[in-house]
Structure formats: structure tokens, C-alpha cells
Amino acid sequence: MKRLPPLPALHTFLVTAQCCNFTHAAQQLHITQGAVSRQIAGLEQHLGYALFQRQARGLSLTREGQDWLPRVRQIFVLIDEGVQQVGERGSTLQLKAPTCVMRWLLPRLMEWQALRPDVPVELTTTVQHGVDFRRENFAAAVVYGSVPNHGLQVRKLFDEQLTPVCAPSLLAGPLPLVEMQDLSRHLLLHPSRDEHDWQSWLRAAGVELAAPGRRQHFETLDMAMAMASQGTGVAIGDWSLIGDDLRGGRLCMPFGLKVRTGKAYYLVCPPGAMAPGLVELLDWLETSAATG
């Protein structure tokens, strides 16, 4: 089996063939013109035929050189693709998300890691609803609020839709939830201290509780949902975020009304090219949101 030609010499041939000038090739390769000439001569000696015709005004490819050029170009394209793909496979995608979206996001990231262990994701949670890619080194983020701008790449996951939820056992208890006014007889669980979510839903429902019931505030949606699932009271939550709890029977909706707030959850990335692994992850999350 004949020994393969050296890779540096093939690279020198590729650069020289593209400009057909030893001096220009030397400038691009940051070596001397003599070194370029010697590498080409050595490659021709190894192959047993000439690759260039030396002329007074420069170089031209021989027939063999013309046959070699697309093959050598393909070799270096494959090497470049391999370097990028293998490097991406070993790198971890840094993702940021607010704590309020964890009930939806975390199970899906665990499913993604089972499907694609070669594209690991490291998740950073925060109480903040936004991201500043100029100061924060994340590949992507989930943000909550109005449509993001500032030149970001944006994909919409889902709209916020508020609805009361409780444990199924609460419906079968001594104080059933039949009418919306029945809420006044139950502990209302607030996922924030400003009580804005409950107020927005009651206003949209056209309900003013005759005797406002007891209230309990929590720092996060997850804590409010956990207490609601234990039958402690009735929480207000985003229907999209608690879909898994509803399908699993841990929570139920005593009333069918879902109120859109005008806010939504978005996937955002900084402007510019994205790694293929990140594109696949964002596509997968977007599809998961669309299919519920």
C-alpha cells in the first residue's frame, strides 16, 4: 500500500492552486516562497507527476492538478466539519430560564438529555424574567413577558393563560367548588405577593367575591402548585405550565375559564450563527410547546 501524501503539503497545494502564485500562497500560509516551492516539489515527487506548469507569468494546473483540486478541497471541508461537530458534541449548552417555567421546562430537558446525551445542557434558573447576552454568557434563554426585541433571535413557546387549579380531592370535599363565588370559602394560594394573577382572573370572569377568603402567598409558582396538589387550597397558575400536572391528575381545573394576560414565554438567542446542537434543541422545545 502506497504511503499517503503528507497533509501539510496537501494544504499548501490547495492554497497554491487557488491563487496559482507561489508568492501569494506563501503570504496566506505565513511561510517563505521557497518553503512553498519545496512542499509542492516534494508532493509532486511523492505522487510521481507534476501538479503545476511553471510559466514565466506564474503557474497553471496540469491535468492531474485539476483532477486533484476538488478532491483535496473536499478533504479539508470534511476535516473542518469534523472539528466543528466533535467540538460541539463535547461542549455544554448554557441555558437560562426563570423559575416560573421550571414545571414545564425541566421534564422536557430531561427527556432531551435521554434522547441526545451527546448535546448536554446546563440550566441556570433565576427569578428574573429576562436576559442580557452582552453580560451573560448563555447560548439561549427562556424569557417571560412581552415580545423581546434588541435584535435577538426569538421563538414563541406559548401564551400565558391563567386559570384556578386545585387537587381533585378538594372538589369531593365538604366545600365543593361549583360556582365561582365558592372560592370565598377556600384558601386562595398566590404565586406572588402582589396577588395580580388572581385579580386578573377574577376581573376577566366578572366575579367579585362577596366574602374574600383566606390567602397564602408564595415566592414561586412551583411552591403554590405543590401546596395546591396537597389539597391545601386553590392556586392560580398558567395553564400551559401546569399541563403535565393536569394530565397526571395531580391538579384539576374547577372552572373552564382560561384568561390570556397578553404575556408569553419565548426562546431567545443572541444574533448570529447558532451551533447545530442548539438549533436542534430549540426546534425540539418549540415542537414540544406546540404539541402540549
Question: pLDDT (tens digit, 9 = 90+) per residue, 227-262?
Answer: 888 888 999 989 988 888 898 899 999 999 999 999
d(CA 226, CA 166): 10
Look at residue 91 and tell me whether its pLDDT is greater than 80. no
- pLDDT-based confidence at residue 213 (cuts at 50, 70, 90): low
Look at residue 283 and tell me whether its pLDDT is greater than 60. yes
- pLDDT-based confidence at residue 150 (cuts at 50, 70, 90): confident
Distances (CA, A) of 184 to 74, 190, 212, 214, 283: 73, 14, 5, 8, 43
- pLDDT-based confidence at residue 220 (cuts at 50, 70, 90): confident
Residue closest to 100 by CA, chosen among 239, 222, 265: 222
Q: Which residue did the predictor score with more confidence, 1 or 109?
A: 109
Looking up cell 394560594 gives 189
Indicate if the alpha-carbon torsion angle 163, 167, 171, 176 is positive or negative: negative
Radius of gyration (Cα) for the chain, nearest Å? Answer: 31
Average pLDDT over the chain reads: 87
What is the rounded average pLDDT of the residues 91-97?
A: 89
Are the C-beta atoms of 147 and 135 separated by less than 8 Å?
no
Question: pLDDT (tens digit, 9 = 90+) per residue, 73-87?
Answer: 998 888 876 666 555
d(CA 7, CA 179): 78
Look at residue 279 and tell me whether its pLDDT is greater than 80. yes
**Helix, strand or coil, per DSSP, at residue 153:** strand
Are the C-beta atoms of 282 and 163 separated by less than 8 Å?
no
What is the rounded average pLDDT of the residues 99-114?
A: 90
Write down the pLDDT at residue 86: 57
Look at residue 292 and tell me whether its pLDDT is greater than 80. no
All structural domains of the chain, each given as residue ranges with its CATH number in brackets, are: 7-89 (1.10.10.10), 92-159+264-291 (3.40.190.10), 160-260 (3.40.190.10)
Report residue 169 as a C-alpha cell: 380531592
Write down the pLDDT at residue 78: 83
Write down the pLDDT at residue 271: 86
Are the C-beta atoms of 98 and 126 separated by less than 8 Å?
yes
- pLDDT-based confidence at residue 165 (cuts at 50, 70, 90): very high
12: phi then psi, degrees, rounded to nearest 5: -65, -40
Report residue 276 as a C-alpha cell: 447545530
Residue closest to 97 by CA, chosen among 121, 120, 123: 123
Sequence length of the chain is 292
Look at residue 9 and tell me whether its pLDDT is greater than 70. yes
Three-state SS for 111-146 is HHHHHCCCCCEEEEEECCCCCCCCCCCCCEEEEEEC
Strands 121-126 and 259-269: unpaired
Write down the pLDDT at residue 85: 59
